[in-house]
Structure 1
Amino acid sequence: MTAELTLTVSRTIPAPAARVYDAWLNPAVLARFMTTCEGGPGARVTNDPRVGGSYEIVMRDGDREIPHHGTYLELVPHQRLRFTWQSPHSVEGSMVTITLTPEGDATRIELRQDRFAHEGARDGHIKGWTAILQQLAAAA
């Protein structure tokens, strides 16, 4: 395992930072943009959006369900979210940090994920997170 592997993806979302931040914590909105790279039906989402609270996101790919879960570690309204990330394709200790920067009426989002088993896993996550941010731009 190469724990030092990280990824960073970013995108400008045509919405204010408050709306983008809230989208990551509102289960109905989160369900709309947390999809597989191919899109498809929305995810099933439950969460307790507080530091120490947990979340569960079950993406669907045809008949297959892909569970993701973790714990919220840091929630700075309209600026930053940090949470653990556990899925069939992640390793123990994987963490996601989302930083929001207002840019006029839009928001620049930078998403960083730490810890991958190998470069292929990291590259697959880059593809997945890029698709998710594209869906977020439409949902926020």
Structure 2
Amino acid sequence: MVTKSRVPETIDAYLADLEDPKVKKTLGALRTQLRKLLPKATESISYRMPTFKVDGDAVAGFAFFKTHCGYYPFSGSVVPALKSELDGYATSKSGVTFPPDQPLPAKLVKTLVQARLAEIATRGKKPAAAKKGNAQARGKRVVGKTATAGFQVGVVRTLPMTAPALWDWVTTQPERWLGPGATLTAEPGGHFEVPKRRGSPGVRGEVRVVKPGQRLRMTWQPDGWKKPATLQLTLMPKARGASLHVHMEKLPDAEAREAMRERWSKVLSQAVD
């Protein structure tokens, strides 16, 4: 990774050991961006590379190898899930490589970081401090608040249908997952609306991103919310069926986060009924 045989103990030392000015500039800029995206992260050297950890979870890492740089989300699913966004880059299941003189775009780095944070949130791992201080909460899903996405929650389930069939289900049968009477125009700039029912507020939003067969991203604003949240549905083909990952961020508070977790857990559990 670095040109010397010893392993640096800090990221500052790692960068100082890099002899190629282009590499040092590129990875130095990447570190600066990660600091902005993850202001509460701990910086360290893990697996012989600079690593950013949040509440003990490795979120992002980078390294230099002889001729190329690499970015690593410490996950086997983040890179495959962002296949379309990473088109043109050399990738593996665990990382992305790029030439030192062609840094990863800032927007792409942000997407990679948010995808990893969402995965951690979906898994519901509790911060170390919470584990020690609340033994009674063991086994319960705890989803946190991040500096970049606010309150967020994710729910994922593998369904017994092909990815194309699942995409069709999402885009042409909105009443099945948005609610009775829902309408949806699944194209960028399109809108959706769910009418108010007894016990359930009306919801509306604008479709922002459509990656056919892969991803649908939209705003989400129920009656009474001052600002909209963001809702994203991501599909991934599996050996048996396809997974649907529902992720929400910029939720107003912890109460809304829990309500959305319950809502989407129920929707996915009834998806094939």
TM-score of the pair, normalised by structure 2:
0.43
Q: Aligned ranges for residues 108-119 of structure 1 at < 5 Å? A: 108-119=243-254
The equivalent residue for 1:30 is 174
The equivalent residue for 2:272 is 137
Pick the aligned partner of 2:191 from 41, 51, 54: 54
Contact 2:170 2:177 (C-alpha < 8 Å) held by counterparts: no
CA distance in 1, matches of 2:270, 2:174: 10
Please tell me whether residue 106 in structure 1 is matched to residue 241 in structure 2: yes
CA distance in 1, matches of 2:263, 2:248: 12
Q: Aligned ranges for residues 1-140 of structure 1 at < 5 Å? A: 4-26=150-172, 29-35=173-179, 43-58=180-195, 60=197, 63-64=198-199, 66-88=201-223, 90-138=225-273
CA RMSD of aligned residues (A): 2.0
More strand as a share of residues? 1
1:37-91 superposed Cα distances (whole Å, 9 cap, x missing partner): xxxxxx102222211011112263xx45531111111111111110110113645
State the secondary structure of the residue aligned to 1:66: coil
Aligned length: 126
Structure 2 counterpart of 1:13, one-letter code:
L
Structure 2 vs 1, CA of residues 127 and 105 (structure 1 numbering), >3 Å: closer, same or farther? same
Identity among equivalent pairs (%) = 24
Structure 2 counterpart of 1:120, one-letter code:
E
The structure showing larger relative contact order (alpha-carbon pairs under 8 Å, at least 6 residues apart) is: 1
Instruction: Give ranges in structure 2 of 5+ residues lacking alignment.
Output: 1-144
Contact 1:90 1:116 (C-alpha < 8 Å) held by counterparts: no
More helix as a share of residues? 2
TM-score of the pair, normalised by structure 1:
0.79
1:95-124 superposed Cα distances (whole Å, 9 cap, x missing partner): 111111100240111111011222111011
Structure 2 vs 1, CA of residues 11 and 121 (structure 1 numbering), >3 Å: closer, same or farther? same
Contact 2:152 2:250 (C-alpha < 8 Å) held by counterparts: yes
Contact 2:187 2:210 (C-alpha < 8 Å) held by counterparts: yes
Structure 2 vs 1, CA of residues 8 and 90 (structure 1 numbering), >3 Å: closer, same or farther? farther
Which consecutive aligned stretches of 4+ in structure 1 deviate over 4 angstroms post-superposition? none
CA distance in 2, matches of 1:8, 1:32: 19
